[in-house]
Structure 1
């Protein structure tokens, strides 16, 4: 799968999305995007220890926290997992496969976004030494719902205001307006209002556009976030 025997492989579901070779004690950063609710697998690619080596292997997965100590996502030492050292937010979410040293983190949410370090130590004649280290920048995304476009009449029944709204996406998205014909020059005259839901950290977004009563043609809106676009029906 990868050239060399030292590295970190990250898989999303069944697809290999990260394959990097490291020298001893050095790490390279790669960015991976994971959908909310899915799982991400992080594998320290080393010769899989035989049964006599498990007692002398230490493996740690930590998340970097700005201006604070790292959070321990997973800890393995003395031949067994160390749940007492694990941060509470990762309890019952991380599993180690001894077949290939794969760490699986499940139930991904926006709160998991950030930088992670995977390190492996082996016991040698001079004590435990760092053998393998990998660095991952984890980005989270969630699809926004299809935007709903509402039209509110002004004087004499003419369309005066258009409101575009969409829910449940991540990261924070922007509302864009598409008007045909585009002679009104009002494409970028509004701002997006985005509100994050405290429980899920997902965003609800909306945009408001004032349309001249003399305007003719069609209009629709799109929500753009993390390179993904979802659009309303035309009106």
Structure 2
């Protein structure tokens, strides 16, 4: 009954000026969601009601409490099981007016708005602070790997990249002039895996040509990151299997892949990969392989 009455305070309390923040965090990292009383001062924990809550999907005007502090409580409690043992408040910091939420091991499901509410018991449960923190979550995609081409009437290439967030943009590039290939030539499938991260598989089909040089680019808009594959070697026989890891440099038709680790080659590939990751995929112009 007491907890129910306290929840009603969240709806009926006098409104304070609402502060808004945007925070970014990588999947698996720890993050601090700020909620600090702007006028400073010291606080008695027995005079404070502190709540961190999130909206319940599909239920307008309904919230779930992430963690909270009540007067005369020695530690904060939790309402939402998803945040048990992952979210906490610091009593020492709350005494100094810092009601920030510490969130451990960020997941894609944490990408949402968190609402911090602070009431003072001695002021007849007046709301003294409200902060809305929007948490944006990101994860690096693996380096895209291209397999193929198949030996059919048309050339078919397959690009794979996994374990990224948020949903990516996928481009195929004519590396001869660094222009985008027509999107009608590609078919991309993006799906969520068991970790809540995105996997992408993109298939490109182009007309057979004496010289084909294509690359696959995975763009993570939130991280301002672009990962571009190298051209797979041309070969005869069955289609290559898709493996995780950086693609090898292009080899001329008929040449066999060289698997020995050469120091100079490793440095060259690393420099090239770094340059590509710092530049956006080409846009606007489209090219078609002939």
For normalisation by structure 1, the TM-score amounts to 0.78
What's the counterpart of residue 71 of structure 1? 64
Structure ranking higher in strand proportion: 1
User: 1:213 and 1:188 mapped to 2: Cα distance?
Assistant: 18
Aligned pair partner of 2:132 in 131, 135, 156? 135
What's the counterpart of residue 112 of structure 2? 114
Equivalence map 1:1-235=2 (5 Å): 25-46=16-37, 47=40, 49-50=42-43, 53-68=44-59, 69-80=62-73, 81-83=75-77, 85-100=78-93, 101=98, 102-125=100-123, 127-155=124-152, 160-182=155-177, 186-189=181-184, 190-197=186-193, 199-226=194-221, 227-234=224-231, 235=250
* 1:82-134 superposed Cα distances (whole Å, 9 cap, x missing partner): 42x52111101112223333320111101111111101111235x11100110
- State the Cα distance separating 1:220 from its structure 2 match: 1.0
Runs of 4+ in 1 over 4 A off after TM superposition: 182-185
* 1:158-197 superposed Cα distances (whole Å, 9 cap, x missing partner): 8711111001111121221111334997342213201111
RMSD, aligned CA: 2.3
For normalisation by structure 2, the TM-score amounts to 0.64
User: 1:141 and 1:160 mapped to 2: Cα distance?
Assistant: 34
Matched residue pairs, number?
205
Q: Is the 8 A contact 1:151 1:159 kept in 2?
A: no
Structure ranking higher in helix proportion: 2
Q: Is the 8 A contact 2:23 2:33 kept in 1?
A: no
Point out where structure 2 has 5 or more consecutive residues left out of the alignment. 1-14, 232-249, 251-290
